[in-house]
């Protein structure tokens, strides 16, 4: 049995990858968003926070037990000398954030309403609340980047001190912003805060096989990083590297109907403020994965 674990930060095609892997003979594949004792402790403590939204509580608590089960199976397989492969994916961070907001908008709209009301901004429809709330959020993220001097400087400690240099209506307004800022930063910090402690592997340990695929060899198997934008090609290359001569086409799955307010969200992400923020999306992770060179400073 060849065990695959698809370990990633979400919205990067993981469902299609897992479904396709499970069509192969003698393969068992699972996907996880958090992995290992450090991640489990962090998620557990977040779940105990009464300020966490119901959406994220249900979403994360439902995953916790399943992720723990996969981690246990991983350790059992590793100890028995069985074949284990970990696949992870990476995506252009700013586009990932747009997708994140669009897919989670039903929960975020309440945050936007609250921030706008406390800022004295008038809105007369949910669509306008999304537009104005998202504009305010992007302006605040710009302020956080400028205050910290860049993404790499936005440690958790620095984020916690942003209310000393930026204006927020109250503690709830600030905590909601910190949550959304954390979502924005996820692709930049995920490999350091999740991949490293779970699998004892840094990005710098990865060998670049192509612009779309990275690999690290471990005693128990290989870890691969696949570029979302060229996922089919990266997926095929990873399977061929593992000895699969005829990799299958990725399944088309998890394709949902258009989310509410998608036009409003896309319009904000096409605005001058959004373009400025995207140009500032420069991090160590970004540069290593090849996205930083795609943006022109300005």
Per-residue pLDDT, 5: 98
- Checking if the pLDDT of 293 tops 70, the result is no
Give the percent of the chain with pLDDT over 90: 80
Question: What's the pLDDT band for 58 if we cut at 50, 70, 90?
Answer: confident
Question: What's the pLDDT band for 57 if we cut at 50, 70, 90?
Answer: confident
Q: What is the mean pLDDT of residues 260-283?
A: 93
Per-residue pLDDT, 114: 97
Q: Give the pairing of strands 213-218 and 221-227.
A: antiparallel
Distance CA 79, CA 160 (A): 40
pLDDT in tens, 108-133: 999 999 999 999 999 999 999 999 99
- Checking if the pLDDT of 85 tops 70, the result is yes
pLDDT in tens, 155-201: 999 999 999 999 999 999 999 999 999 999 999 999 999 999 999 99
- Checking if the pLDDT of 295 tops 70, the result is no
- Checking if the pLDDT of 19 tops 60, the result is yes
Per-residue pLDDT, 296: 46
Q: What is the mean pLDDT of residues 83-97?
A: 96
Question: Residues 298, 156, 135, CA angle at the centre, nearest 5°?
Answer: 45
297: Cβ contacts below 8 Å, ≥ 6 apart: 279, 282
Per-residue pLDDT, 143: 96
Question: What's the pLDDT band for 256 if we cut at 50, 70, 90?
Answer: very low
Alpha helices in 149-271 (DSSP H): 156-160, 171-190, 196-199, 231-241, 262-269
Cα separations (Å) of 29 from 20, 114, 222, 223? 9, 41, 14, 14
Residue 29 · residue 8 · CB < 8 Å: no
pLDDT in tens, 204-231: 999 999 999 999 999 999 999 999 999 9
Buried b (16+ CB within 10 A) or exposed e, 165-203: eeebeeeebbebbbbbbebbbbbbbbbebbbbebbebeb
Distance CA 78, CA 235 (A): 23
pLDDT in tens, 236-254: 999 999 999 999 999 875 4
177 Ramachandran zone, left/alpha/beta (phi>0; psi -120 to 50): alpha
Give the percent of the chain with pLDDT over 70: 96
Per-residue pLDDT, 186: 96
pTM (predicted TM-score): 0.90
Distance CA 6, CA 15 (A): 9
Distance CA 213, CA 90 (A): 10
Torsions phi, psi of 210, nearest 5?
Answer: -165, 180
Q: What is the mean pLDDT of residues 271-281?
A: 92
Per-residue pLDDT, 253: 57
**Mean pLDDT for all residues in the chain:** 92
- Checking if the pLDDT of 37 tops 50, the result is yes
Distance CA 41, CA 92 (A): 28
Q: What is the mean pLDDT of residues 10-38?
A: 94
Distance CA 224, CA 179 (A): 29
- Select from 98, 144, 99 the least CA-distant residue to 275: 98
Helix (H, G, I), strand (E, B) or coil at 104: coil
Per-residue pLDDT, 226: 98
- Checking if the pLDDT of 257 tops 60, the result is no
Residue 184 · residue 141 · CB < 8 Å: yes
- Checking if the pLDDT of 48 tops 90, the result is no
Distance CA 18, CA 253 (A): 10
Distance CA 229, CA 289 (A): 12
């Amino acid at each position: 049995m060849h065990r695959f674990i698809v370990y990633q930060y979400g919205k990067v095609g993981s469902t299609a990858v897992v479904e396709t892997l499970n069509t192969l003979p003698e393969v068992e594949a699972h996907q996880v968003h958090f992995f290992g004792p450090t991640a489990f402790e962090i998620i557990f403590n977040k779940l105990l926070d009464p300020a966490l939204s119901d959406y994220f509580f249900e979403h994360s608590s439902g995953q916790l037990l399943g992720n723990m089960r996969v981690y246990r199976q991983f350790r059992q397989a590793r100890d028995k000398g069985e074949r284990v492969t970990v696949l992870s994916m990476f995506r252009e961070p700013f586009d990932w954030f747009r997708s994140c907001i669009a897919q989670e908008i039903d929960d975020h709209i309440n945050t936007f309403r609250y921030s706008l009301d406390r800022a004295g901004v008038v809105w007369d429809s949910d669509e306008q609340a999304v537009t104005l709330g998202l504009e305010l959020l992007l302006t605040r993220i710009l302020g956080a980047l400028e205050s910290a001097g860049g993404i790499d400087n936005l440690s958790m400690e620095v984020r916690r001190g942003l209310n000393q240099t930026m204006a927020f209506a109250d503690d709830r307004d600030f905590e909601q912003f910190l949550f959304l800022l954390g979502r924005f930063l996820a692709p930049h910090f995920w490999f350091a805060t999740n991949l490293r402690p779970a699998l004892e592997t840094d990005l710098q340990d990865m060998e670049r096989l192509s612009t779309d695929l990275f690999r690290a060899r471990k005693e128990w198997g290989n870890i691969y990083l696949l570029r979302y934008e060229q996922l089919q090609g990266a997926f095929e290359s990873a399977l061929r590297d593992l000895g699969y001569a005829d990799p299958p086409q990725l399944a088309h799955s998890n394709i949902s109907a258009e989310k509410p307010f998608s036009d409003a969200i896309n319009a904000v992400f096409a605005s001058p403020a959004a373009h400025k923020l995207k140009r500032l999306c420069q991090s160590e992770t970004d540069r290593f994965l090849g996205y930083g060179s795609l943006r022109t400073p300005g």
